[in-house]
Amino acid sequence: MKAFAELFTTIDQTTKTSLKTKALASFFQTADEFDRLWTIALFSGRRPKRAVTTTQLREWAAEVGGIPLWLLEESYPIVGDLAETIALTLPPPNRDSDLSLTHWITELKSLATIDIDQRKARILDAWDQLDPTERFLFNKLITGGFRIGVSQKLMTRALAQATGQDESSLAHRLMGAWTPETTTYHALIEAEDVEADDSRPYPFYLAYQLEDGPEALGAPEDWQAEWKWDGIRGQIILRNGAHHVWSRGEELMTDRFPEFARLTDFLPSGIVLDGEIVAWDGTQPFPFNTLQARIGRKSVPKKLLEDAPVILLAYDLLEHEGQDLRDLPLQERRARMDTVLNDLPDEAPIQAAPPLPFDTWDALTQTRATARDHRAEGLMLKRKDSPYQSGRKKGDWWKWKLDPLTVDAVMIYAQQGHGRRANLFTDFTFAVWDGNDLVPFTKAYSGLTDEEFRQITAWVRKNTQQRFGPVRQVTPHHVFEIAFEGIHASPRHKSGIALRFPRMSRWRHDKPLQEANTLDDLKELLETYG
């Protein structure tokens, strides 16, 4: 654990990617094999399940620290991190230990099988032999919130440096449903002939946002255009008679979309398709909120299957007949995909997402303007000769989204942020006019500069009307322009409306309170774009 704590300290004390990579690479070269495996797992989102509630941790930490619980609770929003708040609350340890990261993770996993009194005794015993940094990391692991400023991509780059292997090859090895309990470091990283898990996806190729027009990209004939669908990016894998569905976030979602089990009846084995999972009305996608009803469901009731049937709008073929096609040009991969999907029956839950014809960039700009009519967010632009790369690479794939929808709204509630913004008010609730009343309709917490957050924080502290725990009701005064990607009806909200990806795009110092938008304005947007 000490070596892992030293790694964390090095990473935490620098903003330079090169130094973080160097520290991780050194750790992978020198650490115990089991600790290496668990470090890879942690930085790729494979964390042990939480066996203790945060309420229990707060109570035990206050008890051990000899402070009232309310004081710990008041300290938490100021510190901005529960694991750190607890680590700071505890008294110095009475003894020292040099047990490994793997030991402490194994200890945490064992908590699920014992009663609450034994869990408490085990955690207090751990706190009594770990130094403050080790306690912080231990607490992070307990709460299941292990995120310490290292992306999976950076971790993979460091692992490539440590092992001398190709980064894209390692990225593929690290995909899939493995856990430290089901593999070894040698089998995952070092083995010459790793037998790929049948469910293993490929690392997703991600596009950059095109900020200006496409004219700088060169000749239009070198590019393929597609709708940027508003669904879930996913890969569907058909291998050895089974199917698997992965999201871009590397989450196995097979059980959530049982429709795709039928693909084994229509397509041969040895295929991996990349595309967008959408709820489909027969001619175009339903609004995203229709699909959202299914995202969090481990099992899908029959009515929901009928109300929100899904298909894959496929736009790339990554594997065919068991052969990795990613190095082939997009144009060739696309031609093979069209051949594979040609003449499928209507009941097959898959369609090839058609490229959009265009001869000039001006013509494509006009097509882009109609994206919302097709329930799309904008366009994707892909160079026809591009290979399918790993991660976000600039140059060959671009997303050209529509400008967001906007409304002007009044800030009525404010809440402090977390982490480095723990001393600032950054989370706000906004309202629009309904007659003479302000009706809340959305929350937003991004879009302002640090200086603007400091200004609004000073104002909130002077203009608080009431407090509701961490939330402050403020005097209605400030108008903000709220940008968002979509709008839909929502019976869970008092306004009856919910926004997709709301954020603050401007602080409207120029606009008086009375000129903010109305609920009727939102309803008109809902009729047009919902």
What tens digit of pLDDT does each residue of 452-476 get?
Answer: 999 999 999 999 999 987 899 999 9
Instruction: Specify the fold of 405-529.
Output: OB fold (Dihydrolipoamide Acetyltransferase, E2P) (2.40.50)
Phi, psi of 104 (to 5 degrees): -70, -35
Q: What is the pLDDT of residues 198-242, one digit of tens each?
A: 888 999 999 999 988 899 999 999 999 999 998 999 999 999 989
Residue 398 in tokens: 């671009």
Q: Name the packing angle between helices 132-143 and 116-127 (round to 10°).
A: 150
CATH 1.50.10.10 fits 2-143, yes or no: no
Q: Parallel, antiparallel, or unpaired: how do β-strands 232-239 and 271-279 relate?
A: antiparallel
Evaluate if residue 35 carries a pLDDT over 90. yes
Residues whose CB is less than 8 angstroms from the CB of residue 141 and which lie 6 or more positions away in sequence, other chains included: 47, 48, 104, 105, 108
Q: Which residues pair with 205 in a beta bridge?
A: 391
- Stretch(es) of the chain classified as CATH 3.30.470.30: 205-401
What pLDDT score was predicted for residue 196? 59
- pLDDT of 28 > 90? The answer is yes
**Which comes out higher in pLDDT, residue 444 or 150?**
444
Q: Is CATH 3.30.470.30 correct for 205-401?
A: yes
**Interatomic CA distance for residues 489 and 519, integer angstroms:** 12
Query: Cβ-count burial of 252 within 10 angstroms (0-12 exposed, 13-18 middle, 19+ buried)?
Result: middle
Structure tokens at 95: 């003894």
* Residue tagged 């007949």 (tokens): 321
Cβ pair 337, 273 in contact under 8 A: yes
Q: How confident is the model at residue 171 (pLDDT cuts 50, 70, 90)?
A: confident
Tokens of 317: 């073929």
Residue range 353-382: mean pLDDT, rounded? 94
Most confidently modeled range among 192-201, 262-271, 489-498 = 262-271
- Quote the pLDDT of residue 523: 92
The reported pLDDT for the residue numbered 253 is 87
Confidence of residue 36 (pLDDT cuts 50, 70, 90): very high
Name the residue with tokens 């790993």: 390
Q: What is the pLDDT of residue 453?
A: 93
Better-predicted residue by pLDDT, 12 or 144: 12
User: Average pLDDT in the 416-434 region?
Assistant: 86
Contact 54, 83 (CB under 8 A): no
pLDDT tens per residue across span 126-157:
999 999 999 999 998 887 767 777 788 888 99
- The first and second tokens of residue 461, run together, are 């502290």
156 within 8 A of 165, measured Cβ to Cβ? no
Q: What is the DSSP-derived secondary structure letter of residue 15?
A: -
| pLDDT exceeds 80 at position 187 | yes
**What residues does CATH 2.40.50.140 cover in the chain?**
405-529
Residue ranges, CATH 1.10.3260.10, the chain: 2-143
- 518 secondary structure, DSSP code: B
pLDDT for residue 420 is more than 70: no
302 has a pLDDT exceeding 60: yes
For 84-121, write each residue's pLDDT tens digit: 899 999 999 999 888 999 999 999 889 888 999 999 99
Residue type, position 514, single letter: Q
Average pLDDT over residues 234-259: 90
- What is the C-alpha separation between 122 and 205, in angstroms, rounded? 44
Q: Is 29 in contact with 7 (CB distance < 8 Å)? A: no
pLDDT band at 194 (very low <50, low <70, confident <90, very high): very low
3-state helix, strand, coil in the chain (%, to 5): 40, 25, 35
Q: Given a cut of 60, is residue 380 above it in pLDDT?
A: yes
Q: Where are the beta strands (DSSP E) in 173-280?
A: 205-206, 208-209, 223-229, 232-239, 242-247, 271-279
Answer yes or no: are the C-beta atoms of 75 and 89 closer than 8 Å.
Answer: yes
